[in-house]
Amino acid sequence: MVYRTARVALRVTPGQRRRCFGLLRSAGDVWACVLEINAWRRRRHDAPLVGYQALCRELSGSGPGTFGELDSTGARSVLRRFSDAWFAAAKARRDGDLSVRFPRRRRALMPVRWYHGTFTLDGLRVRIPTAQGASPLWVRLAREVPYPVEQVRSVTLLCEGGRLFLDITAEVPVAVYPPGVGPDPGRVAGVDLGIIHPYAVASRDGEGLLVSGRAIRAEHRMHLADTKTRRRAVAHRAPKPGQKGSRRWRKHRRRTRLVEGRHKRRVRQAQHEAARTVVSWAVEQRNGVLRVGNPRGVLDIDAGRRHNLRLRQWQIGRLLQILEDKATLAGITVDPVNERGTSSTCPTCLRRVPKPRGRTLSCPHCQFSGHRDLIAAAIIATRTPGGGPTPAAVVLPKVVTHRRAGRHLPGAGQSRRDPRRPHRVSRGSVGPRRPAPPPGGESLALTARIHNAHRKPGER
Ligand SMILES: [Zn+2]
């Protein structure tokens, strides 16, 4: 069994919205109180009050009604969050990482979690627990919960970008397969994480998968261009420090939050699709182990303004995490290995080659050339902790499947703008824009399975 969480938007009336925000604000008050108690104790040189039980005793001492409509289970979830964060920071600091800090920032809104048995899930309707005496709070979900009701373990109310969401956590069983059909632990594939191709996969028996992330990159770029234009257009209206913003400015801020939230959701959706593709492919190929090149090292090096932005947008940690989650659920093991040098090594003579500028790696020593990301994946597939590859062990993909991540993204075919919300800030040209694809081309691109066995091994 593994835990999985789905974020579902809420459809609320203005009254329900007010009450939900009331709960989040009360949770923020609980958080602020805990911070304050500990600030006092620190000043008195007392031991901090951080244990969950001790905090709960303090909470029950505060009496009913202190935190508005927030019930005690909801309030306790905030205490749990504080306690966990405090002990995690304490442990990290004990282990020598002094950059980790204890929780100390107040937050206006704090997510609230309720455990199984305290809330009611009835199709699209959810009853959120409230304090005794308050009228029941029922809200509507914007879509079906993707898990059977009996698997749901907790719900978390939160606000992101000005919108209310419910994170629904369920305990999901790991997939089981009939004998001889499921992933085989003896069949290993290598995965190379990249920017242009979020995932390039090569199995040890000559199959390859390339997931293109160009649509994700386009979404990032267009979002950045839009944000810049919008900011420039309204900069002269910004309130001075200490000055109260106008109503128009508040509206602008609200709009910015919504656009930001939509951008984040779009990218996340595309990343999930990309990982889904890899896992389905691996199940189809019966690969029981995915060896993933772990490029964490490259993130610590300062690479300049432009490249740093690129690395941040890449969100490597999340790509890894999403892949690992989906693979675990499908019964596939994810095995991180060192990827040093995999993108600058020739697979046939194993000598270092100059870093290729484009997607094609060509070796000056033995005239080999092939797709850089797939080669890296093939070399990663041979890596074990502590062992290097031998030329005979590197199997280059001969059959390569191409997939695109982010079909829903505007850069991937449909018009850039959400038709329901025409926005007028960006008149004229705003940065790079993809040319419109020919009509009907989209479905072809999605399902194209290119068998290029007649080409040279590894060539794209
Ligand atoms: Zn070579």
d(CA 301, CA 363): 26
d(CA 118, CA 241): 45
Distance 365 CA to ligand 1 centre (A): 5
∠ Cα 312 317 319 (to 5°) = 95
Q: Residue 329 corresponds to which amino acid?
A: L
Torsion sign across C-alpha atoms 421, 145, 263, 234 = positive
Distance 342 CA to ligand 1 centre (A): 13
Structural domain includes residue 246: no
Distance 352 CA to ligand 1 centre (A): 8
Distance 312 CA to ligand 1 centre (A): 32
Structural domain includes residue 254: no
Distance 356 CA to ligand 1 centre (A): 13
Under the banding of pLDDT at 50, 70 and 90, the label for residue 276 is very high
| Least confident range of 85-94, 383-392, 397-406 | 383-392
Under the banding of pLDDT at 50, 70 and 90, the label for residue 189 is very high
Structural domain includes residue 73: yes
Q: Which domain holds residue 429?
A: 184-237+259-433+442-450
* 270 and 393 part of one domain: yes
Convert the pLDDT of each residue in 172-188 to its tens digit: 999 888 888 888 888 89
What's CA 78's distance to the chain center, in Å?
23
What average pLDDT score do residues 44-73 get?
88
* 140 and 214 part of one domain: no
**Among residues 172, 197, 222, which one ends one of the domains?**
172
Tokens of 307: 């490249």
pLDDT of residue 454: 38
Which residues line ion ligand 1, judged by CB < 5 Å? 346, 348-349, 363, 365-366, 368
455 has a pLDDT exceeding 50: no
Distance 38 CA to ligand 1 centre (A): 62
β-pairing, 137-141 vs 152-160, is unpaired
Distance 392 CA to ligand 1 centre (A): 13
Query: Which of these, 418, 98, 430, 71, lies nearest to 263 by C-alpha position?
Result: 418
Distance 143 CA to ligand 1 centre (A): 53
Contacts of 14 (CB under 8 A, 6+ apart): none
CA distances from 402 to 51, 263, 296, 318, 413 (A): 52, 25, 26, 22, 17
Taking a C-beta distance cutoff of 8 angstroms, is the pair 426, 234 a contact? no
pTM above 0.85, yes or no: no
Element (H, E) at 380: helix 372-382
* 50 and 156 part of one domain: yes
Structural domain includes residue 250: no
* 203 and 144 part of one domain: no
Q: Exposed, middle or buried: residue 326 (CB in 10 Å: 0-12, 13-18, 19+)? A: buried
Distance 350 CA to ligand 1 centre (A): 6
Distance 347 CA to ligand 1 centre (A): 7
* 9 and 130 part of one domain: yes
Distance 369 CA to ligand 1 centre (A): 8
What average pLDDT score do residues 299-314 get?
62
Mean pLDDT of the residues in the chain: 82
Distance 383 CA to ligand 1 centre (A): 18
426 has a pLDDT exceeding 50: no
Distance 313 CA to ligand 1 centre (A): 33
Convert the pLDDT of each residue in 117-142 to its tens digit: 999 999 899 999 999 888 889 999 99
Tokens of 56: 């709960």
* 163 and 198 part of one domain: no
**Among residues 126, 150, 172, which one ends one of the domains?**
172
Distance 366 CA to ligand 1 centre (A): 4
* 160 and 190 part of one domain: no
Distance 449 CA to ligand 1 centre (A): 28
* 222 and 306 part of one domain: yes
Q: How many domains does the chain have?
A: 2
Distance 288 CA to ligand 1 centre (A): 30
Distance 380 CA to ligand 1 centre (A): 17
| Least confident range of 67-76, 130-139, 379-388 | 379-388
Distance 377 CA to ligand 1 centre (A): 16
* 295 and 386 part of one domain: yes
